[in-house]
């Protein structure tokens, strides 16, 4: 495990930002991850690699997880999270969030996937609302996050937005109890995470701007839909004039 930073919120909560090469199953069994935020890409991807474990641990058929992931990736035009709460009373994970990502249909209106710099509002808001849902609905304490880019296209700006969302959520939420936030899975390297160490000081110069969210409750899962102004692009602190 590599400790990237320890964020201290305005309410005194200390949250460690970590990078880990162990797989999800090992981390969950060690009690180091209780919630996973993962991009909806299947196959040779973090979701594909961990699908059997996620299905067995949460008590949700692989076919159902694949169906919901494919719907959120290929069909759904809204920016959405698919929140899968565990259906077992003694699972290692409290839940998994299938997050919209660079390869999702909904990303096309923000930027051309795989080209140019990442659209920061997208990655920031998806991460923030995933953290908020997991914390407020599942009482998550130890979150893990896969790359939300397309495979092989992770970028330092995405990692910085991910961590900044964590910092802002803890600042904005006195009841937050997230102790760790961990980057795991393929396509992420320490080079991508180099900007995170600066966040504890710089995050205090900016704050979260609330967006519109809508939650659709379904039998066995929840959909969280996000909406914000396309023009109000989120800017990471180091690019602020």
- Dump pLDDT digits (tens) for 15-58: 999 999 889 999 999 999 999 999 998 776 889 899 999 999 99
Half-sphere exposure of 9 (CA within 13 A, CB side): 24
The reply to whether the predicted model has a pTM over 0.75 is yes
pLDDT at 202 over 60: no
Q: What value does the CA radius of gyration of the chain take, rounded to a whole number of Å?
A: 16
Residues 6+ apart with CB under 8 A from 38: 46, 47, 50, 96, 97, 98, 99, 145, 146, 185
Domain spans, the chain:
2-239
Q: Which CATH number fits domain 2-239: 3.40.1390.30, 3.40.220.10, 3.40.50.300, 3.30.230.10?
A: 3.40.220.10
């Amino acid at each position: 495990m590599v400790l990237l930073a320890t964020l201290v919120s305005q309410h005194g909560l200390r949250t460690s930002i970590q990078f880990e090469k162990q797989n999800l199953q090992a981390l969950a069994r060690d009690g180091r991850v209780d919630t996973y935020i993962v991009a909806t890409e299947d196959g040779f991807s973090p979701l594909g690699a961990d699908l059997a474990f996620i299905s067995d641990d949460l008590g949700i058929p692989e076919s159902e997880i694949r169906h919901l992931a494919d719907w959120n990736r290929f069909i759904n035009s809204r920016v959405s999270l698919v929140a899968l709460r565990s259906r077992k009373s003694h699972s290692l994970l409290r839940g998994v969030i299938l997050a919209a990502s660079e390869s999702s249909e909904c990303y096309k209106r923000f930027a051309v996937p795989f080209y140019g710099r990442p659209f920061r509002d997208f990655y920031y808001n998806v991460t923030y609302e995933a953290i908020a849902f997991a914390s407020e609905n599942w009482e998550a304490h130890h979150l893990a996050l896969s790359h939300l880019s397309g495979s092989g296209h992770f970028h330092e700006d995405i990692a910085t937005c991910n961590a900044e969302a964590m910092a802002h959520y803890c600042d904005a939420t006195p009841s937050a109890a997230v102790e760790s936030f961990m980057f795991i899975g393929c396509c992420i390297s320490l080079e991508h995470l180099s900007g995170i160490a600066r966040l504890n000081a710089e995050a205090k110069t900016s704050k979260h701007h609330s967006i519109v969210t809508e939650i659709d409750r379904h039998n066995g899962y929840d959909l969280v839909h996000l909406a914000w102004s396309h023009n109000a692009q989120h800017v990471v602190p180091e690019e602020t004039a």
